Amino acid sequence: MSEQKVFGMKAEQGRWMFVLLGLLMNICLGAVYAFSVFRGPLEKSIEEGGWAISATQSGLPFMVFLATFALFMALAGGLVGKWGPKKAALLGGTLVGVGWILSGFSSNIIWLTIFYGVIAGGGVGIIYGCPIAVSAKWFPDKKGLAVGLTVMGFGLSALVMVPIMTAMINNPAIGALGAFKYLGIVFLAILLLLSLPLRSPKEGWMPAGWSPKKDKSGGSLVDLDRKQMVKTGTFYALWGTYTIGCLAGLMAIGIAKPFGNEILQTAGYDVARMATLLTTMVSLFAIFNGIGRPIFGWLTDKLSPRNTAALSFALILAASALLYLWGASSPVLYFIAFSVLYLNLGGWLAIAPTATATFFGTKHYGKNYGLVFTSYGVGAILGMLLSGMIKDSTDAYLPVFLPVMGLAALGILISVLWLKPVKA
């Protein structure tokens, strides 16, 4: 069963190369998390080289990107099963690169939203699930850890990309639009190159000396297609908990800087010190977003998806309560709480794909996880709406964490009662 060779090595060793490929691919794909560095230059006046647009307008490409990303994950999920991971990744990688390159030729925010938000976002939606599906199939014994490491690059991408993007934008010979072009060329080359080796193991392959154990994985030996999956209560429990997890995490990403300003102003920090401290904190938050994926992936392997999900919501509840009750003027509590929220966003991007493979099998994984992933888009929209509405009505971000506490408690309840294996 284990005689396959991978990259010239025994499959048990060579399969780790697929994790590395996926991690590197996700560093390119996760560049969307650094989009904020483009917003300032685009908002500048025409005389200063910008488009003289509002903050709401400059955020359109990012919002459309996330929505298209989630939509294409659902629509194109079956491509991995039909074409195989390599061909699907080549298509997605091409769209990502072309979308970034065309963005550099945009003459206004509408064209940038189409090129970046729709074309590049759609490409990410197609390619994102390819290395995840490959890792899940090559690691039936360590699904959570392998998937978590694969997607870690997406969370860490901002750390890598922000300095590069900033340097390019600040270079008068390149600028914001030039940065889109050059990065698009680089992403296109890297993604196409890294897509070529992607392949799934032969059907039925298992690592030497390992056999599935129901009590250890928390799952049952089933392979459900999408139609069968949506007839189970487990699917709706997973979709609901994933929505709540993404809502809390993506909301934290969206308000990290303005809420941090709120906290530091209340604590009496001057403007210059605030800017330096917040920049450092947000960079550290990105690390927590990245490492949350392998940590919670490993925990999912060890504790089961249900117990790991409940633990995640307990942490979100504790972090939100800490902020709401005692954090109004405490930079230390702000840093601790937001580190936990970022950690758990990363965590859910490992818990959910691992749970999908564990509960519903890997045979139809691409199509199944594509549907599950729509909760990411819903969570992003609800999180932004919730934080925006509460800020508008109370003139503060702190009250946002009261409903988040309630949602986290609901997440614990759903996890414990309904997030369980499907009976074969």
Q: Delimit the domains of the chain by residue range.
A: 8-195, 223-418
Would you identify the CATH topology of the domain 223-418? Answer: Growth Hormone; Chain: A; (1.20.1250)
Look up residue 184 and give its amino acid.
G
Looking at the DSSP bridge assignments, the partners of residue 5 are: 10
pLDDT computed for residue 384 by the predictor: 80
Q: Is 182 exposed, middle or buried (0-12, 13-18, 19+ CB in 10 A)?
A: middle
Listed as ranges, residues in the chain with pLDDT below 70 are: 1-3, 45, 47, 214-221, 424
The string of DSSP codes covering 359-420 is HH-STTHHHHHHHHTHHHHHHHHHHHHHHHHHHHHHS-SGGGHHHHHHHHHHHHHHHHHH--
Per-residue model confidence as pLDDT tens digits over 287-305: 999 999 999 999 999 999 9
pLDDT of residue 35: 87
Does 223-418 match 8-195 at the fold level? yes
219: left (phi over 0), alpha (psi -120 to 50) or beta: beta
pLDDT reported for residue 424: 66
Level-2 CATH architecture, domain 8-195: Up-down Bundle (1.20)
Helix (H) or strand (E) holding 181: helix 175-195
Beta strand 9-10 with 5-6 is: antiparallel
Q: What is the pLDDT of residue 215?
A: 45
**Cα(368)–Cα(213) distance, integer angstroms:** 22
pLDDT at 219 (0 to 100): 47
Taking only the tens place, the pLDDT of each residue in 195-243 is 999 999 988 888 988 887 754 444 446 899 999 999 999 999 999 999 9
pTM: 0.85
Nearest alpha-carbon partner for 249 in 132, 350, 395, 117? 350
Query: How far lies 136's CA from each of 133, 170, 372, 375, in Å?
Result: 5, 41, 15, 20
Half-sphere exposure of 324 (CA within 13 A, CB side): 14
Q: Which residues contact 313 (CB under 8 A, 6 or more apart)?
A: 241, 244, 245, 408, 409, 411, 412, 415
According to the model, what pLDDT value does residue 218 have? 47
pLDDT, tens only, 237-285: 999 999 999 999 988 888 888 888 889 999 999 888 888 888 888 888 9
In the prediction, which pLDDT does 45 show? Answer: 66
